[in-house]
């Protein structure tokens, strides 16, 4: 699964880790995160994330 990076603050969403503090279980693909999820670092929406090239 691809990692996604926040274009505002640089936070990297890693699907292997998920975002348990926001209710996103490990193994959750970025596409399957609820649309109202926000970056845990800066609070922007999913539309501010881009596929990580790493």
Q: Is 39 known as a binding-site position?
A: yes
9 is in an annotated binding site: yes
Is 29 marked as a binding-site residue?
no
- Other C-beta atoms closer than 10 Å to the C-beta of 18 total 17
7 assigned binding-site residue: no
Can you say which residues are annotated as belonging to the binding site for Fe cation? 6, 9, 39, 42
Can you say which residues are annotated as belonging to the binding site? 6, 9, 39, 42
């Amino acid at each position: 699964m691809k990692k996604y990076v926040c274009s505002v603050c640089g936070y990297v969403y890693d699907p292997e880790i998920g975002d348990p503090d926001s209710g996103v279980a490990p193994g959750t693909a970025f596409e399957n995160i609820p649309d109202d999820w926000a970056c845990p670092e800066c609070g922007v929406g999913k539309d501010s994330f881009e596929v990580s090239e790493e």
